[in-house]
Structure 1
Amino acid sequence: MLALVVVLTVISLLNLFLTVGLLGKVREQADRLAKVEAGAPPMLPNGAAINDFTTTTLDGERLTLEELTGEMYVGFFNWNCEVCHEHLPAFIAEAKRMPGRRQVLAVVRGTPEQAVEMTSQLNPVARVVVEEKQGPVQRAFQLYATPAFCILNPNHTIQVSGYEPGLKTPARS
């Protein structure tokens, strides 16, 4: 009988810890949704400078903030995000309007194995980085939601950002 009480107590405590953890995640998601609904940008605000980072592209190229030169079109995706998949064709169309592949950066959240469907479409038009949640590039841009898009000035500041591809700036209208 005592063993049964101990087992039930352990199960109850485990359930309590899992519930508290789940509530924390729900609160985090609710906060993110509130920011999105309030129109907050999905990353650093316009005019903010990007923090330094070091990463490796899918092609094995070392990439740092210093190596992003000229105006850059940047897109952030999550491999298992339905809206990200829906926005992929529009991002690719916009990327093709840039002067070259080196002026486009696509960051896919996940593992290379998980992201293969997205990266196979993005690689011809962009330098592609695949990283886990809150990887170096996501931290540099202070990304908190996907999909997210921005135009980065040559001085490494965000000119404009949003949740939809095809961002318009005075120079690109």
Structure 2
Amino acid sequence: MTLLTTAVVLLAVVGAVHLLFTFGLVARIRELSELQQHGGGGHAHNTHVPRPGTVVRPFSVTGTDGAAITEADLDGPVQVGFFQVGCGPCRMLSDALVTAPPAARFVSIVHGDQDAPDATARQVAKLGALGRVAVIGVDDPVLTAFEVVAFPTLLHTHSGVVTASGTRLDDFADVTGAPTQVA
């Protein structure tokens, strides 16, 4: 009788665990469905980038040309890329952008590496082909102004409002003036 009791208890425990996993899976599917519906373009929105509709807060950062870059420079369609020196995905995205430059004006914000000034200089030179570049340090206020928390981040703005955001070029497939994916 103890063998039968043990089997019934074990079966009940396995069934309960299975039921909990099923509820968790259903909840996650609903969450992803909501993200897809509200993220636009049929893609779930990356939660580590600013959402479309985010208003860029006032900021000022000095470009490599010595002139200030501020929120006033976002007066029309402007693409803004945030890159970090030594970041593999940042390097891949910047290579793709140089290969297929965006139609909109482009501003690059590079989180430099004080211990690797040559690598920072190479990244700045490469991104300089796209437009203006600024090099920043850790916790620079420009990151807060754009609500950027991860690298790379690519934003399409229009008159100081984020209209599209992502970490890959294909996140911008439906955006006018955005770069296109290169085969």
TM-score category, normalised to shorter length: 0.5 to 0.7
In structure 1, the residue corresponding to 2:169 is in which secondary structure? coil
CA contact (8 A) 1:43 1:143 kept: yes
Larger Rg: 2
Gaps of 5+ in 2: 1-43, 179-183
In structure 2, the residue corresponding to 1:144 is in which secondary structure? coil
Gaps of 5+ in 1: 1-37
Matched, 1:45 2:51: yes
Q: How far does residue 86 in structure 1 lie from its aligned partner after superposition?
A: 1.5
Question: Deviations along 1:113-138, whole A, 9 cap, x unmatched?
Answer: 25111101111221101001221221
Identity of aligned residues (%): 23
Q: 1:122 to 1:172 in 2, by over 3 A?
A: closer
Amino acid at match of 1:160: A
In structure 2, the residue corresponding to 1:115 is in which secondary structure? helix
Amino acid at match of 1:165: L
CA contact (8 A) 1:111 1:130 kept: no
Q: 1:160 to 1:119 in 2, by over 3 A?
A: same
Partner of 1:108: 110
Q: TM-score, normalised by structure 2?
A: 0.64
Q: 1:128 to 1:46 in 2, by over 3 A?
A: same
CA contact (8 A) 1:75 1:91 kept: no
Q: 1:105 to 1:41 in 2, by over 3 A?
A: farther
Runs of 4+ in 1 over 4 A off after TM superposition: none
Amino acid at match of 1:123: G
Count residues with an aligned counterpart: 131
Please tell me the root mean square deviation across aligned C-alpha atoms, in Å: 2.1
Partner of 1:139: 144
Amino acid at match of 1:169: D
Partner of 2:131: 126
C-alpha separation in 2, matches of 1:111 and 1:56: 17
C-alpha separation in 2, matches of 1:172 and 1:80: 28
Q: How far does residue 55 in structure 1 lie from its aligned partner after superposition?
A: 1.1
Q: TM-score, normalised by structure 1?
A: 0.68
